[in-house]
Structures are given as structure tokens and as C-alpha cells.
Chain A
Amino acid sequence: MNTFDLLMLGFSEAMTPANLGFCLIGALLGTLIGVLPGIGPTATIAVLLPITFFLPPLAGIIMLAGIYYGAQYGGSTTAILVNLPGEASAVVTTLDGYQMAQQGRAGAALAVAALGSFFAGTVATFGIAIAGPMLSSFALDFGPAEYVSLMLFGLLAATILASGPVLKAIGMILIGLLFGMVGTDQATGAERLTFGSIDLFDGIEFTVIAIGLFGFTEIITNLERSGSEGVKVAPLTRLWPTREDFRRAWPAVLRGTGIGTFLGILPGGGATLASFSSYSLEKKVSKNPRAFGHGAVEGVAAPEAANNAAAQSSFIPLLTLGIPSNNMMAMMLSAFMIHGITPGPTVLTNQPEIFWGLVASMWIGNLLLVVINLPLIGLWVRLLTVPYRLLYPAILLFCCVGIYSINNRIFDVLLAAGFGLLGYIFRKAKCEPGPLLLGFVLGPLLEANLRRALLISQGDASVFIERPISLTMLIATVVLLALMILPSFRKKREEAFQEEEA
């Protein structure tokens, strides 16, 4: 059977009424938990996992997958409307998405995010179908040394996210690295920066730091404004993006899709790296980089496309090699194993209906998500006209519930409140929290892989330049660094941000 026949087999499996129903349930549930800050797909799937015992294997897996990519859609909604990234990959969406909402273009931002995600999801789904096995072997070439170089590049590129001085951005990354170190050292069991507190034993949860720095800070900042009227948005002229928006968004979506599909297959921070790499790229190729951070439609389209493509393509290593690339995929692996299916090449040949049924259901699920989300845009946008005094206490409540539910600990809620205050100070000092979050996410990965790389090479650091992929990325890092130090570039960059200061 060729790919086309197999895909048809997949569609015939995925289109059965029961499987369509479970796909819809998963997508709806995913959208819901994505919109609610703090409640992530990993927790939801862990809770629902035992239920799948009683479902046919494909139906259960289709539903769980639906939750996963549904949450990616839902997460962008809160990022755009209330400046709250639900997970690491949505951090960059807040930069321009929230600005667009402030300018009365929330509808356009949500529509671009939904359509961009749909397009990216479609491409990535067919990417899995056609090139899955080939791409997965590439992911395996990424060893510890390659990750070290990739993370270094990522950390440096994170400075591009900020629109202030480079030095401040680097400072924020370093603070992020410091927060990432809190907890027990995985290799030796030694405690770092826990101050003897058992609550810091596991380090700081991403959600705690993200909701604190973005959500709480936003609310505190808004308290400064007088009165309790709704967000001062420009009059809502239209819900739908303009033709100009589409013209600017589609190349960004294309690039985002490519980066997302590619980086999504890498284990670890794939989706996160994908969304902010694509944002950095857009800012680099744009003729008008100063628009970024002020509601540039490309700044929403590219990372949204990238993180959705990455969400899909992270299934590639799981389905073709049986290797989960993140916690979510580890959950999916458990779901497979509960039904006695071991994902890997043998499933592709012996149970093609499982693999292709899932691939087809992902495309159907993405279609369902657009259908669910587009009519809802009007409703979401109207949320912004709700007065602060009603909207913000509600957001605060959802945030607290979400944070508490991660570990059932009040400590996390207090910690998030502390980060809220810290975020407020950062905002007053004109330091942006985006680079801090990326330092926080990438730092621990960098450290663990640096150790592994040096253990394997028996302390020989030349391993980083001897391996071609690693060397390429190191060169890219050096080039980026040189560009930042060179006076002409610096001048241009400062010029770009001069206007905002004025």
C-alpha cells in the first residue's frame, strides 16, 4: 500500500461516528483547559488516562491527542486577550497578541492565530504521514553535545525577544537561569537555592513563574489606572483580519510552520524553541522590525503556527520510534501501553490502522478546532469589554485555582504572588520578562546536557566543535553575537526601539 492508500485507511478509521465523537470531546476539552490559565494538558491527560482503559485503543488515543492540540489553540486565546501564557510555547504570543487586543484588533489576532494554527497543523500532519520515519532519525542525531549548542543559540536569540537594551535582556536571561537552578540537582541529589524549604525541592513550576510574572503583574499594573472601566480598546471596527493582515501573515505562517515542524521532533524544549525561534526570525526578516512588540500581526501568526506544528510533529518520534519527546508524549506512550501497543516501526507495519487513524484524526481535530474557535472569537472579544472590577478578580481566581491544582500546594500560589510583585518591579525598571522565562526553561536543559556531553567525551570539550550539527549551531551563535556587538547593528537596533521610548 502506498502512502495515499494508508491515509485513506486512516480516514476511514477516524471518520467512524464514535472516533469522530471522541475527537470532538478531546478538542473541546483541550480548548477549555487551554483557555483556563494554569491547568495544563499533562495534568488533564494524567487524570483521564485510566478512563481510556475502557475505550477501544484508537478512540482513547484520539481523545487524548485532541486534548493536547486543543490546549495549544486554547492557550493562545488567554495569551492574546489577557496577556497570560498558559505554557512556555505561548510566551511569545503575548508580545504582539496582547498589543493587538489593546488596539482593538483582538478578533484579528485570534482569527490569525486560529487559521495559522490550522494551516500549520495540516502541514505538520501530512508531514508526519509522508516524512515521519525519515525525520525521526534526524532527531536521534541530536545528542547531548548538539543540545548544548542549540540551547546556547536559543538563549542568545532570546535577547531578540526583548525590545529594550541588550544588556537588560541578558540580565533577565541570567535571572531566569538562576531561577531554573532552584531545586535538587538531578545528577547528585545536592540541593541548590532551596533555603532548606521542602517546597522548593522540585524547583519552581513553570506555570507559577509564568502566571506570576505575566498575569499577576498585568493585574497589578492595571490597578494603577484610574477607574474600573473596561480595557481601553480602540473601537472594535471588525472581527475579521483585514486583507493587509492576511498579506502580512501568510508568509510568517509558512516560515513558522517550517520551523515548528522541524524543531517539534526534537526531544525537550522543542515546541518552546520553535515558537520563539520563529518570532526571532520574523523580526529579523521584517522590513519593519520596530512594529514588533506593538501589535505586529506576523508576531502572532508565526509563533502560533510554529507551536501548533511542533505539537503535531512531536508525535513523530513517539509513533515511529516509540520515544516520547516530552512529558505529554510520555503520557501518550502510557496510553498506548495500557492497550498493549508498543509504538514503533512494528506498529506501522502490523497495526497500520492505529498509526494512520491517529494521523487522520489529527487533521480532522484541527478542522474541528477551527470550527469551534472561529465562531467563539466574537464571544472572547466581548470579554474585553467586561469592566476590570469583574474581569480581573475572575482571572485572579482562575489563576489561583490553576496554580494550586498543579501540586495541591498553597505554597505555589504564594510564590506566584511573589513573582507578581517581582514582575511589577521589572516592569517599572523596563525589564521584560520574556527572556527570563526562556532562560528558566532552557537553563536546566543546557546544564543536564552539558554534563552528559562532557561525561561521554570524558571531559574533552572539543566534542562541541567536532560534531557537525553542534559546530554549525555554535558558528550561528557566534555570528549572532558578533551582529549584536557590531556598532552598526547596535545602532540600528537602538533606533528601532527609540520610538517607543518617546
Chain B
Amino acid sequence: MKHLKTLSLAAALTASAAGMAHADWPTDRPIELIVAFAPGGGTDVMLRTLAPYLEAELDAQFPVLNRPGAAGEITYTALAQARPDGYTVSSLNTPGFLTMQIERKLRFEPSEICPIARIVEDPGLFVVPANSEFKSLTDLVAYAKEHPGAVSIGTTGVGTDEHLAMLQLERSAGVDLTAVPFTGSNDAKTALLGGHISAIGLNAGEYATADHNSMRAIGQFSEERSILAKDLPTAKEQGYDVIISSERGLAARCEVPEEIRARLADAVDKALANPEFQAQAAKQSVPLSFQSGADWQAAMPARLERYRSIFALMKEGQ
């Protein structure tokens, strides 16, 4: 017993010695929260709403910094090169974080980035202008069969969820669509309303807050209909195997001390349980879905395999 006590004392000492280096965390400096998308997008608004609650939980400042582009690679690279002192965290979005590992030569090592917590799971859907002739995915597919490449889909970059949804639909329906990259979903929406592209991919949360008189969703890409879009048929119901959802959360470098990451995850968990935050999330139609960093990380390899197969099939088809 005594032996055990000594051991635990030693462990405690080691822990506190390690703790010395970051004893002041998180109060001596602001914790930079890098967002991989332009201001005003779904991830940005969600994290800006969350930031004050994290600040209250940790008694620290969380300035939000937008570093959009390259489907998030700019942000993850910046994160991977930041000092592992717990003062830099970033948004983490799947599928972008996973798909960029498939075909691109990355500037950062994905295994060095550890999820802290998942905050949102939001299914994707395709949206057309209100005056479009496409009433369903079936209409869109039928048109694309007759006019290969003529149906243009606005995405926010290579390997993003909109792009993946499009690839899956191409595979499942055997059609040829054209991806048009935009800087953010707002730019894509503008082009859609102007009739310059046929459809855009959005998340259910983004669509729920958009103006439904000017645009219409034609299919959602979840297993079951999302609570945010109960009347909208899924792709599966329409006969296409397209499953994509956007998961959004926070990440830090894996080299950040375990203790700091745990405290961050705990703060996120508590902030999500705050009824005030939940009310604000509901107003913005954000489908909250907390998952611990470990669980989220454990689920990633299987998803990565699924996306890998989509990419492989796409290449085969070329």
C-alpha cells in the first residue's frame, strides 16, 4: 500500500513538474482560435457564438482568426506549426480534414493534429434556385444524363463535403457533373441566386437559416432525415447512395500536454450544456452533437476509408 502511495506521489510530482511549464495556462495570453473558413460561414458563426462561453469556462480570451482557403489546409498547417503550448487551437472539419489526406501532398502531418471535441454534426444537401426546373435529385440526374458536364455544382473547394457529395452522386447515378470552387458558401449562394450555377451544396444548418423563398433543397445526404429538414427526402430514398455530413469541432496539436487538451474538451462539454448557448445554437439552426476528442478520432479511420474508395472509383472512371 505504501508502495502504491509512493508511486502515486511520484506520479503526482511528475505531473506537477510537467504542469509547471504551463502553470499559467490559460490566463497569461489569449488562446487563438483559428477558423478555417471565411467570416459568416457556418463554422465561423458557430465558433464565434461558442467563444464567449469558452472564455467564461476557462477565464481566458479566445480571439477568433479566420484563415480560409484550400479546404482548411491553410489552417491545419498553421496549427501544426504553432507552438504546442495550448495557446493555439483551430476548427476541425470533416470530411475536409480527411479527404485532403487522400490525394494531396500536405504541408502538415495529419497524425500530429488531435481532435479536442466534436461540436456539430450537420448533414449535407443540394440546393437549387426557387425557379429551377429540378424538383428532386432525380430531375437533376436525368438532365445531367442528357447533358454531361452541363450541371454545375458550387463547392467550397476540393475534397469538401459538397465536392464529396457530388462525387458520390456521380458514381451512384453514373453522370458527369462540374464542380465550381468558391471561396465560401456565401459566394456560392450569390452565384446560385444569380442563376450562374445549377446547384450548390450546403449543410442543413446553413439551409435552415437561408431564405426559402429564393432557394429550394432537393435532397439531403444523411442516413435518416435530419431534424432540421424533416420534409426533405434523403438521397437514399431517391435511390442514390450518397452519405455525407459535416462534422465540426476543435483541434490542437497532439504535442499539447494531455492535461490542457482535457481541460479544453471539458470546457467545450460544459459550454454545450449551457442552456443559454443551446438557445443561441437553436436560433442559428446548429445541430449540436458533442463527441469527445478520443471518440471522434476513433471514428475517423473508417470514414477516411470510405472517402478513399470514392476517390479511387472516381479515378477509375476517368
State the A residues within 8 Å of B (CB).
42, 46-47, 49-50, 53, 139-144, 183-189, 191, 198, 201-202, 267, 317, 321-325, 327, 329-331, 333-334, 337-340, 342, 344-346, 407-408, 448, 451-452, 455-456, 458
Contact = CB atoms under 8 A, between A and B. Distances in A.
B161 interface: no
Contacts of B49: 338
Nearest to B209: A342
Contacts of B191: 143-144, 452
Contact of B77 (A49, A201, A327): A201
A408 B33 CA distance: 13
Contacts of B214: 321, 344-345
Contacts of B180: 452, 455-456
A485 to B, nearest CB: 33
26 contacts: A46-B39, A50-B48, A50-B52, A140-B190, A184-B73, A184-B74, A185-B70, A186-B157, A186-B183, A189-B100, A198-B107, A321-B193, A323-B189, A327-B38, A331-B40, A337-B284, A338-B45, A338-B284, A342-B209, A344-B213, A344-B214, A346-B213, A407-B65, A456-B180, A456-B196, A458-B149
Given A140-B194, A344-B214, 16 more contacts: A46-B48, A183-B69, A185-B70, A186-B70, A198-B78, A317-B190, A321-B193, A323-B190, A327-B38, A330-B41, A337-B209, A339-B283, A342-B209, A346-B211, A407-B65, A456-B152
The 7 closest A-B pairs by CB, nearest first: A330-B40, A143-B196, A344-B211, A340-B283, A140-B194, A189-B70, A187-B181
A188 B158 contact: yes
Contacts of A451: 181
Interface string B66-78: 0101110110011
Contacts of B52: 50, 53
A329 to B, nearest CB: 8
A49 B45 CA distance: 10
A345 B213 CA distance: 8
Given A201-B77, A333-B40, A452-B181, A408 B211 contact: no
Given A140-B190, A330-B38, A322 B211 contact: yes
A456 B178 contact: yes
Interface in B103-123: 104, 107
Contacts of A339: 283
A323 B186 CA distance: 6
Interface of B: 32, 38-41, 44-45, 48-49, 51-52, 63-65, 67, 69-71, 73-74, 77-78, 81, 100, 104, 107, 149-150, 152, 157-158, 178-184, 186-187, 189-191, 193-197, 209-211, 213-214, 280, 283-284
Contacts of A331: 39-40
A408 B214 CA distance: 40
A458 B194 contact: no
Contacts of B45: 334, 337-338
Nearest to A332: B40
Nearest to A317: B190
A408 B83 CA distance: 14
B158 A189 contact: yes
A330 B186 contact: yes
B44 A334 contact: yes
A53 B73 CA distance: 31
Nearest to A467: B196
Contacts of A455: 152, 178-180
Contacts of A345: 211, 213-214
Contact of A186 (B67, B69, B152): B69
Nearest to B184: A330
Contacts of A42: 39
Contacts of B283: 337-340
B213 A324 contact: no
Most chain B CB inside 10 Å of its own CB: which residue of A42, A322, A323, A325: A323
